[in-house]
Every structure is written in C-alpha cells, then in structure tokens.
Structure 1
C-alpha cells in the first residue's frame, strides 16, 4: 500500500488558549494516520503485538511547521512510505488544510520485539503490504 490519508477535525482539546494546535499534538495526528494506514493494509497494531510479539517504536521525527492548524479546521493527514527495510520504516507524512501545507514530517520507526525492545526483521507479508 503506497500511501494513505485520514481527515482529522481540530477540537478544543488539541489547541492552546489562542485556538492554535499545540505543536506536540501534531505527533498524535501523525500516529493516527500511520495506524489507519496499517489497518487499511490489513494489519492491526494489537494483532502485530499479540501474534508477532513485536511493536513499532518511533526512533526519530523530523518536523517542519509551516502554518498553524486552528480550532474547528478539518485537516488531512497523509503517510507515504519512503523506505521499508527489514526492521526499519521511514515514512513521509504531512498535515494539510486544503492545499495549504501545515506540517511536513519524516518519521523513522523501528520494528522491535515486544519483550526486549531489540530490532527484529518484519515478516515478509507485513513488509510487502507497506511497499
């Protein structure tokens, strides 16, 4: 599955007193989009943890904030895989309001054993679904 997008409504809980989305909350939106991307590819995070004894952990986030999202906005959050390795996943993500780019990010994830937090190879079917 090459790319995926979700729409997110900005609620009061997402903003500061000025009605602007608090910068760290964008990471929650990115996480939701990645979760829905995997779900659309046929994988639930809870199933991966239970059946594969593994989890994805965020190793690095590079984010460029261009414009603020505001209370009441409907934004589109996208994710597109840049690199799918054996135990590493790099995803390009963005948050847009219509044609306006609000945030661009590159998120690097590691696929690790649930019990030991050591990198392990992703199963072939999981890697194939992400490419």
Structure 2
C-alpha cells in the first residue's frame, strides 16, 4: 500500500487532550484515531450505523497488531487511513496508517481484524448482506 495515496483516509488534528505534558500523543489515542477512520469508512460506504444496532448487529475489534514508528505531537494534522484488505464470513480486516500531513511521515500502522457479533449475545454472526456486498466489491477492485 502506498502511504501517500491511501484508498480511504480521515483527517485528525492532535489536541492537548491527546498528549502528555511534553506534547507527545499517548499511545492509546492512536486506537481512537483508527476507530474514527474505520467508522467513517463504514459511513462512506453508505452503511447507517444506527440501523445495525436496530438489527442486533455490532462490530468489535477482535485483533490488532500495531507498530508505533514516530510520535505525533500537539497540533499535528494527521491522515488516518482505513483500507479493507481481507474478509471472511463474520469478519473483515483493515490495514491502517497514521501519517503526518506536513511531511508524509508514517507514524503508526496497524492490521486490524473486526468481527461482526450479535449485540444481545456477543456471539459471532455473519456479516449483513449490505456489508457482504461492500466487501465483495472492494475485493474485486
């Protein structure tokens, strides 16, 4: 994947609440940034998040492998990518990157596996038809 031309990216600015006393982003904040990008990716595909809740559907991070390369700092403007790279019957996988807009530096990257579960039981369930169609379309490209 080319970090300078990701398929989907979401802009994020680093605020004081994201940093320690030295102005460096807390490691856990990268998880927040990536979650936002995945959520916006879903929205960009035309999937209404509230309708999933009404249909007893939730998506949960099952697995994440993250590599922190360089720190983001207070006031940095970032691009956070969320690119679908693989899928199964009840899950899909994303490759995500956090890139500083000013210089294109790759700050963090992660492989994320998201599972579809029944909201009431937490048990795995098949991806809804609309999400399966999106996954098929993205896999074909």
Q: Same fold (TM over 0.5)?
A: yes
What is the rounded CA distance, in whole Å, between the counterparts of 2:68 and 2:9 in structure 1? 19
Give unpaired runs (5+ residues) of structure 1: none
SS in 2 for 1:24: helix
Give the alignment's Cα RMSD to 1 decimal: 1.3
Structure 1 residue ranges, 4+ long, deviating more than 4 angstroms after superposition? none
Residue in structure 2 matched with residue 106 of structure 1 by the alignment: 111
Residue in structure 1 matched with residue 125 of structure 2 by the alignment: 120
Aligned-residue offset at 1:3: 3.3
TM-score, normalising length from structure 2? 0.87
- Describe the superposition over 1:76-103 as per-residue Cα deviations: whole angstroms up to 9, x where unpaired: 0001111122101111000001321000
Instruction: Choose between structure 1 and 2: higher strand proportion.
Output: 1
2:24 corresponds, among 20, 23, 28, to 20
Aligned residues: 129
Aligned-residue offset at 1:46: 1.9
Give unpaired runs (5+ residues) of structure 2: 1-5
Contact persistence 1:15–1:70 (CA under 8 A): yes
Query: Are residue 47 (structure 1) and residue 51 (structure 2) matched?
Result: yes
